[in-house]
Amino acid sequence: MKNPIGSWPVLYALAWIAYAALVAIVMGTMPVPALEIATFALGNSLPPALLGILVIRYYRRERTLTPFAAATRNIVFGFLFAVGSVAIEMPFLRLIFGAKFRFRLENAIWGMLIASLLFIILASGAHIQRVHAHLVRERQRAAEAEALRAKAELAALRARIDPHFLFNTLHSLLALVRQDPARAEEAIEQFADILRYTFAAGVGGEERTLAQEWELVDNYLALERLRLGARLRVREQLDGDAAATPLPVLTLQPLVENAVRYAVAPRAAGGCIDIEAKRTERGVRIDVSDDGPGADPAQLSAGDGHGLQLVRQRLEQMYRGAATMELAKSDAGGLRVTIEVPRA
C-alpha cells in the first residue's frame, strides 16, 4: 500500500515553494518592487523550512510518551520552532535589505504566530505519516498471519484426506490386481490423480474450479466403490454453467467424504449421496446430502465438524463473507450441506 502523503522530501519542497509563492502574492498587493517581494518571500520561508526538516524527522519516529509528556513536548518544541524561525529570519532579512530593514516587535510577534501554525502543520503531517506507516505494517502482519492460517487450514484438510482411505484403497487395489488387472490399472491411475491433486493443493494456488473439484470427487467415489460396492449409491447433477465457478481447493471432497464415512460405510445396506450444483439468481448453489442417520446441524456448526468448519472458513476468506455454507437435515433424514457463492 502506497503512502497517501507520498514521498515526504518531494512534497515538503513543493509545500514550501507554495508557501513562498503565497507570501509573494500577499506582498504583491503592496507597492513594493518585484525583486524585494521575491527576496522577502525567500527570507520569510527559508528559516522555518530548514527547521521543519528537523521537526519532520523527529515526529516520524516511533515514541511512547504519556499524554502530559507529549503535550509538554509539543508546546516546548512549538515555542522553540517559532522563536528559532524568527531569530534566523530577522538577521537574514537584515542582510538582504540592509538599511531598509527595520525591526518591529509586531512583525516578530506575527512571524512567531505564523511559525507556530507552520509547526502544527509540520508536526501533524509527520505524525500522520508515522501512524500510516504503523497501520501499513500492521496490515502486512495481519495479511501474513492470515496466509499462514489459510495454509494451516489447507494442511489440516490434506491431513484428513490422505490417511483416511489410504490403507483401505491399497487393500482394495491389491485384491483387484489379482481379479481384474485392467480395472486395477484404471483404479491406480485414479488413486494417483487424487494424490497428485491433494499434494499439489496450495502449490499452484489455493483456487480451483468446480469442475476440477468435481473430477476429484468422481475419482474418490470410484475408489470407495471398490470397497463398498453397491452399498454406495450416488446421484450427481452438475450444471454446465456452474462448472467454471472458482472454489478454494479441497472444498467439495471433504463434504462427500463426510457423507461416505458417516452415512454409507457404517450401514450394512449402505446409503445414497446426492451431489448437485446449479446456477441460481445469486450465483451458484452446491448441495451435498445423504440419507444416513443424520447429525445435529447445530452441533456441527458449533465446531464438532472440524473439517466442515475449515471448509466454511476458507470459503469466507476467499469470498470475503459473500459465500454461505449451511447445514440442515436432508429430505431423506440425513445431513445436507449447502454452499452458495456469488457469481464470478
Q: Which DSSP string do the residues of 314-336 spell out, in sequence order?
A: HHHHHHTT--EEEEEE-TTSSEE
Rounded Cα distance, 330 and 297, in Å = 11
Cβ pair 130, 59 in contact under 8 A: yes
Q: What is the mean pLDDT of residues 256-262?
A: 90
Q: How confident is the model at residue 201 (pLDDT cuts 50, 70, 90)?
A: low
Handedness of CA 203, 207, 208, 210 (dihedral sign): positive
Check residues 162 and 51 and name the one with the higher pLDDT: 51
Higher pLDDT, 160 or 112: 112
Lookup: cell for 120: 502544527
Reported confidence tier of residue 159, pLDDT bands at 50, 70, 90: low
Query: Between 52 and 274, where is the model more confident?
Result: 274
**Average of per-residue pLDDT values in the chain:** 80
pLDDT at 5: 44
Which pTM does this prediction carry? 0.57
Structural domains in the chain plus CATH codes: 8-143 (no CATH), 165-342 (3.30.565.10)
Which amino acid, one-letter code, is at 78?
A: G
The predicted structure's pLDDT at residue 221: 94
Number of DSSP helices (H) and strands (E) in the chain, helices first: 10, 7
Q: Calculate mean pLDDT across residues 180-199.
A: 88
Q: Residue 290: what pLDDT?
A: 94
The answer to whether the beta carbons of residues 234 and 272 sit under 8 Å apart is yes
C-alpha distances out from residue 176 to 183, 190, 191, Å: 7, 14, 13
2 has pLDDT over 70: no
pLDDT of residue 324: 93
Q: What is the mean pLDDT of residues 93-108?
A: 67
DSSP 61: S
> What percent of the chain is predicted at pLDDT more than 90?
26
Report the pLDDT averaged over residues 153-177.
70
pLDDT at 233: 96
